Amino acid sequence: MTYCVGLKLNRGLVFMSDTRTNAGLDNISTYRKMFTWVDEGESMITMMTAGNLATTQSVVSLIDERNKAPTDRHPAILEFHSMFQVAKYVGQTLKEVIAQHGENGERAESYFNATMIVGGQVKGSEPRLFLIYPEGNFIEAGDDTPFLQIGEMKYGRPILVRAFDAGMSFEEAVKLLLVSFDSTIKANLSVGLPLDLQIYERDSFRKGNQRRFRTNDAYFQTISHGWGDALKQAFDTLPNIVL
């Protein structure tokens, strides 16, 4: 399993992903699930992946054009004139990879499915955020649904629903994401640290702040421990029922 969230703020986009992958409970590893492509001054695209690791790695390699010699690579993903075209391209690539894996005579125990969040900005248009399905189609985050989640999304959703505000600062958004991830990590063994963070500031067309939160990260620990106490205090402020 996996947990990834993309937030669409007025100020820009914020992405967070965990790094745990597992094939059964007895075979866990750490893999990066967040990938960023930048053409400075022109476009910035971040992608997060959930699902079959062979599928998602294949998609990333194809987007990176790793089938070409390193000097010949000019990722097509950076040449589109709109984020809609980027989403279509990623969806098409994902669909093709799944179809190819599915064709190989051998039937795997699990499906080759994967889901992705793709967000960013191409010069001349607004920042946009998409969720891409294994069938290659996709939905976009809008004003009514300004965040997208993939993977194990249920535990961490209530706090997003309650506390998200499109006008919040990047600092508050990171805090919100860490609370949401901490709730998920406490409940589901298949989501785990380290966590990757990528911030994109609207109209900057370059990578914003990037950070990896490891188990011993001081700020993550502050949030993880502090949130328990803060929740209990919040709980105590509500009136008791008269039975």
Helix, strand, or coil (residue 45): strand
Nearer to a second copy, 91 or 156 (CB): 156
Looking only at Cα atoms, what is the longest distance across the chain?
74
Q: Which residues contribute to the site for a second copy (CB under 8 A)?
A: 154-159, 161-163, 169-172, 174-176, 179, 183, 186-187, 199, 209, 211, 219, 222-223, 226-228, 230-235, 237-243
Q: Is the dihedral of CA 189, 53, 137, 65 positive or negative?
A: positive
Q: Is the dihedral of CA 89, 91, 97, 100 positive or negative?
A: negative
- The alpha carbon of 57 is separated from its chain's Cα centroid by a whole number of angstroms, namely 15
The closest alpha carbon to 148, from 62, 202, 87, 206, belongs to: 87
Nearer to a second copy, 29 or 169 (CB): 169
Considering the complex, what minimum distance in angstroms separates the CB of residue 198 from a second copy? Answer: 12
Considering the complex, what minimum distance in angstroms separates the CB of residue 148 from a second copy? Answer: 15
Nearer to a second copy, 99 or 231 (CB): 231
Nearer to a second copy, 99 or 139 (CB): 139
Considering the complex, what minimum distance in angstroms separates the CB of residue 186 from a second copy? Answer: 6
Considering the complex, what minimum distance in angstroms separates the CB of residue 93 from a second copy? Answer: 31
Question: What's the token pair of residue 42?
Answer: 């022109």
Considering the complex, what minimum distance in angstroms separates the CB of residue 154 from a second copy? Answer: 3
Nearer to a second copy, 94 or 179 (CB): 179
Helix, strand, or coil (residue 84): helix
Q: From CA 34, how far away is CA 207, in angstroms rounded?
A: 13
